[in-house]
Structure 1
Amino acid sequence: MDFELRILGSSSATPSANRHHTAQLLTIDNQLHLIDCGEGTQMQLMLYKIKHQRISNIYISHLHGDHYFGLAGLLSTMHLQGRQQPLHLFGPPGLSEILSLQLKYSGTNLCYKLVFHELDTSVYRKIYEDKKITVHTLPMEHRIPCCGFLFREKPKPRPLIKENLPGFLTPPQLVRLKWGEDIRDEQGNVLVRNSVVTLEPKRSRSYAYCADSRYKPDLLPHLRGVDLLYHEATFTDELRERAHYTFHSTARQAAEMAVAAQVRHLLLGHFSVRYKDLTPILEEAKEVFAKTDLAVEGSIFCVRE
């Protein structure tokens, strides 16, 4: 099953000649999740030949324009191209009102159902669940209400060792074995021991998106051991005071978070336009956490099972 992140935009505040505003596309088992939707996102989707009609869920972290100014245009294009399936939109209070006004005064009646889920950005809470994944909010510390998002695969079934299976097992019993149960008779005696007829399940993967925020160590219990952590790194550490004043983080702080949370892989993004060359940001983080990469546009990061 695919678990793949593509970076569509990585600039903070204002775009630059070679960096668009924040947007990411997370693909999990052919389901597309768009995370933030800065200006130019639909152009990036076209550039990378991503069919935006396949997007099922959109998550907006907060209402600073560099994270959602591309949303109205994307929704309009989906309408003009005849989208039929519902689209689920998760965002902070105020987003629904903004979109309603834009649609009202443009005389647009969407041809598809837009299902809006208003988020409480101040808490860690499950906001989405299907058969394979869950999504939780991660409360950020920013100038306005803001949250990140934690995507986790659910536990996976244990593969059966066919040659070890006795012939008398029924389909329901096989399902129970896949989910770790022993098979017992009516008296409670073990007929088939799970450990004998199954293998360890494949690892469940995870991705944490930490949107605009000051360094926030109280997130650590939620980030512990995630496979892929995206953390904003608007500045290098020489501007730590400015980062704190503007409710942002430095590359070193992002790396310190990765170390403390014992994550597998760190991505840095939301770069200030003052950095034409991103090498200092990457080098600063790597001094603390070696497995660090830049979330530059077009990059794809795959999480293996």
Structure 2
Amino acid sequence: MSTYLTILGYNSAIPTVNASPTAQFLDMEERAFLIDCGEGTQVQLRKAKVRFSKINHIFISHLHGDHCFGLPGLIASFRLLGRDTALNVYGPKGIKEMMETIFRLTETHKGFEVIYHELKSKSSEKIYEDSRIEVFTIPLDHRIYCNGYLFREKPKERHLNMKEISKYPEIQTCDYHHIKSGRDFELSDGYVLKNSILTTDPTDPISYAFCSDTRYWEEVIPLIENVDVLYHESTFLHDLKEMADHTGHTTALEAARIARKANVGKLILGHFSNRYSDLSVFTDEAREVFPNTFLPKALEAVKIG
């Protein structure tokens, strides 16, 4: 199963005609994850032809408006569309109070359960897990409490070597699960067939790291090491590093340094200041340090892995 990332919005605080604030849709192992929900996210979801009913887990990095102001409207639309299944919202402590206050004052009746997973730890923690995927927080250094998120497939089962297996009639279909999980197979005469003969190596697990608003923060490097794709904010070019530090942001050059030190496969930049009309200057700067750097393309589904 393929993993696709659709960047719905990648601008900084102010929406423009051509770019919306931060929001991403991640389709991984048939799970649908929404990452941040800036203003206009549900319109972008419509343009990307994402079924709202697929989204059961929303991850909010922090409570600045360009990352969460689209959430009340999206949840209200869920209700109008007849949703009755629970929705999980992960975000900083305070997100429940913010959302429930809006719903109370606007008399918005959801009609379904919203489960808030409020975060306050300054250390990385696992916040979601199922049979195929794990999600971890990536603590960041912004002006307010902020997390990125690491989405990682669990190790996959080994592939059956059917050419070798067919040589042994004793191996039945019911044995395949144990073999794929790494077990050897013992024949009736006591001879043990090593698993390395009966299988081949599994496909490498896919991983994606989302680093939202943050200053240059090398503490993230061990958490995102060797990920297939890293999205990292780069609000300014490096000649405005002082402004980046003051406002809690990163330069394109610094994002590239993080990508290089973490040995990631691909870097996607985002969260650009509106002062820049030509965004190619960001890749020009970053590629001097990390050549495999790219600009986001709104609504393009990027295959990961």
Q: SS at 2:240's partner residue?
A: helix
Which residue is equivalent to 2:242?
241
1:2 aligns with 2:8: no
Q: Is the 8 A contact 2:170 2:187 kept in 1?
A: no
Alignment of 1:259-278 (within 5 A): 259-278=260-279
User: What displacement does 1:43 show?
Assistant: 0.8
Q: SS at 1:253's partner residue?
A: helix
Q: SS at 2:56's partner residue?
A: strand
User: What displacement does 1:300 show?
Assistant: 2.3
2:89 and 2:82 map into 1 onto residues whose CA distance is: 18
User: What displacement does 1:190 show?
Assistant: 5.6
User: What displacement does 1:109 show?
Assistant: 2.3
Q: Is the 8 A contact 2:47 2:299 kept in 1?
A: no
1:80 aligns with 2:80: yes
Letter in structure 2 aligned against 1:174? Y
Q: CA RMSD in A?
A: 1.6
Q: SS at 1:263's partner residue?
A: coil
Q: SS at 1:242's partner residue?
A: helix
1:33 aligns with 2:26: no
Q: Is the 8 A contact 1:34 1:58 kept in 2?
A: yes
Letter in structure 2 aligned against 1:140? L
Alignment of 1:145-294 (within 5 A): 145-165=145-165, 166-169=168-171, 173-184=175-186, 191-294=192-295
1:136 and 1:39 map into 2 onto residues whose CA distance is: 25
Q: Is the 8 A contact 1:39 1:69 kept in 2?
A: yes
Give me the identity figure in percent.
Answer: 42
User: What displacement does 1:171 show?
Assistant: 5.4
- When the two structures are superposed, what TM-score results if normalisation uses the length of structure 1? 0.95
- When the two structures are superposed, what TM-score results if normalisation uses the length of structure 2? 0.95
Q: Is the 8 A contact 2:238 2:253 kept in 1?
A: yes
Which residue is equivalent to 1:59?
59
Greater CA deviation, 68-77 or 94-103?
94-103
Unpaired segments ≥5 residues, structure 1 = none
User: What displacement does 1:176 show?
Assistant: 2.1
Greater CA deviation, 164-173 or 36-45?
164-173
2:285 and 2:117 map into 1 onto residues whose CA distance is: 38
1:56 and 1:192 map into 2 onto residues whose CA distance is: 43
User: What displacement does 1:36 show?
Assistant: 0.1
1:143 aligns with 2:152: no
Residue by residue, what CA displacement relative to the aligned partner does 1:233-257 show, whole Å, maximum 9, x if unpaired?
0000000111011110000000011
